[in-house]
Amino acid sequence: MKKIKVSESLKNVTKISTGTVLGQIISILTLPFITRLYGAEIIGIWTVITAFSNIVQQIADLGLANSVMMCNEDEIRQRYSIVTKISFFLSTVSGIAIVLYYIIIREELSYALTVGCFTIMYAFGLRQIQTCNTLLTRDKQYNVLMTNATIRFSAIAIISIALGFLGKYLHVPFCIEFGYFIGNVIGQWLTIMHLKRHLPKIIKRTPRSLYKETIKGNIDYVRYQMPASITVILRTELPNLLISSLFGNKMLGYFSISQKLLTIPVTFLGQSLGTVFYQKVAELARQGKDISRFVDRNIKRGMLIALVPMVLLAAYGDAAINVFFGTEYGIGGVICRIIVFRTLFNFISTSTRGLDIVLNKQQYVLYSCLTQTVLAVGSVLCGFFVFNNIYVTAALLAGTFIIVQMAYFAALYRVMKLNPWKYIRNMLLIIAAMFLISIALRFGTIFILKAFPNGFFNYILSMFVQTAI
């Protein structure tokens, strides 16, 4: 019998996916306990902290972390040292600025210190994880990378739930206020320790002159990659911060829960596909080979892979959130079914990570994300001041994001001398299929549940938000 050959890329995707899936299973099984212990308000505050952290970590490295993938072997240790020291300094400065901002604007010292201090720790940790992941991806150490999610989510679950129980049932001071935050930070730093165990000692003394020389020699990363990365984060996190300010932290908690559910398929497989895609496409580019067919094939594959989970979330997102996270989060369930169409494009972007860098078109990301950020801000402001409705806000956020994202990939197709209209046609077909199939599944399921009433079916039926489409 002829032995079936499995491609190296598929093996690597499987390795990373295995660890990611295990980590996500832990997260999924424990998140219902966390949401019930801490409530939407705490989840909303943590979303504010992560929003600031995600923005800060993109500023903190000046865009130089991405250059680690493309630099020469003899430059890696020096480049890592420079990125680490710059990011520590800028993370600290940014955290202090956030504290001062909240003291001046909100006049709440405790809230300001909480958000600022946790932002410093979490932002610097995020940058360290990303940089170490890049180094390990470059070396194809996928066995190490596949355990990241398991370590992180296990620690978050154990520590957060333990502190939550201490706070809620034994009334230990500060556990409810800070337990979830502490669990996330410790989980993150345990992951960093795990990654660094598998890397050589790469911190070294760096002459001051070398910082300027490195920045000047990689000015395109500073000029394009850093602004592009910032706008990628701003298009998501700035609306979160605005929702917090306008609708309140509790509503942001609902919005955040919907995003947590929607990011599961992206994290399960999209990130694994993206990690291997980035390594492979960068390798092809370094070898001077054409990457267009490889990219087109992976985008089409990403569309088909994403279709099934996105259809299910579009059909049953509200019921899933009510069952797993509690009926308190029903509003988040309706939001989930609206913004799932945006998540489809997030999946495609995640599974083709690094394409703009390899094509040397980082400015495309800058332009598209800047446009999406402006439109996202306008969507939240319009949703609040004109409609005063979080569902309209979610619909506007999803619609504007999709339009710009399609234009962005069409531009990259032109760079690769591919037909952009085929991409646009395929995406429109996928969106239409998602909508029609999800509607059919949803109303078909509701019809069956009503036709055969019993205790269990009535319970499931009660989890659907009947007023939503």
Say what the pLDDT of residue 207 is: 67
Is the C-alpha dihedral spanning 133, 139, 144, 146 positive or negative? positive
Residue 127 neighbours by CB distance under 10 Å = 25
Pair 326, 36: CB distance under 8 Å: yes
Say what the pLDDT of residue 14 is: 64
Longest dimension (CA), the chain: 75
- Whether the pLDDT of residue 299 is over 70: the answer is yes
- Whether the pLDDT of residue 6 is over 80: the answer is no
Tell me the per-residue pLDDT of 378-392, one tens digit each, with 9 for 90 and over.
Answer: 999 999 999 999 999
Query: Which regions of 200-283 does DSSP assign to beta strands (E)?
Result: none
What is the rounded CA–CA span in Å between residue 31 and residue 65? 31
Which residues fall within 8 angstroms of residue 452, CB to CB, at 6 or more apart? none
| Environment class of 8 (CB within 10 Å of its CB; exposed 0-12, middle 13-18, buried 19+) | exposed
3-state secondary structure (DSSP) of residue 434: helix
- Whether the pLDDT of residue 47 is over 80: the answer is yes
3-state secondary structure (DSSP) of residue 183: helix
Is the C-alpha dihedral spanning 403, 409, 414, 417 positive or negative? negative
Overall average pLDDT of the 253-282 stretch: 81
Where along the chain do its domains lie?
A: 1-217, 258-469
Residue 419 neighbours by CB distance under 10 Å = 12
Model confidence band, residue 468 (pLDDT cutoffs 50, 70, 90): very low
Say what the pLDDT of residue 277 is: 84
Overall average pLDDT of the 31-50 stretch: 92
Calculate the average pLDDT of the chain: 84
Model confidence band, residue 236 (pLDDT cutoffs 50, 70, 90): confident
| Environment class of 447 (CB within 10 Å of its CB; exposed 0-12, middle 13-18, buried 19+) | exposed
- Whether the pLDDT of residue 451 is over 90: the answer is no
- Per cent of the chain over pLDDT 90 is 36
128-144 burial string, b = 16+ CB within 10 Å, else e?
bbbbbbbbbbbeeebeb
Which residues fall within 8 angstroms of residue 145, CB to CB, at 6 or more apart? 15, 16, 19, 133, 136, 137, 275
Which residues fall within 8 angstroms of residue 469, CB to CB, at 6 or more apart? 337, 439
Tell me the per-residue pLDDT of 112-165, one tens digit each, with 9 for 90 and over.
Answer: 899 999 999 999 888 888 888 777 777 667 777 777 878 888 999 999 999 999
3-state secondary structure 364-426: HHHHHHHHHHHHHHHHHHHHHHHHCCHHHHHHHHHHHHHHHHHHHHHHHHHHCCCCHHHHHHH
What is the rounded CA–CA span in Å between residue 274 and residue 267? 10
Model confidence band, residue 175 (pLDDT cutoffs 50, 70, 90): very high
- Whether the pLDDT of residue 52 is over 90: the answer is yes
Neighbouring C-alpha atoms within 13 Å toward the C-beta of 321 = 31
Q: Which of 202-206, 267-271, 326-330, 339-343 has the lowest mean pLDDT?
A: 202-206
Model confidence band, residue 214 (pLDDT cutoffs 50, 70, 90): confident
Pick from 185, 160, 182, 184: nearest CA to 32: 160
| pLDDT top residue among 74 and 468 | 74
Residue 327 neighbours by CB distance under 10 Å = 12
Say what the pLDDT of residue 29 is: 86
- How far is residue 246 CA from its own chain's centroid? 23
Say what the pLDDT of residue 62 is: 78
Kindly report the pTM of this predicted structure: 0.79
- Whether the pLDDT of residue 204 is over 60: the answer is no
Say what the pLDDT of residue 4 is: 44
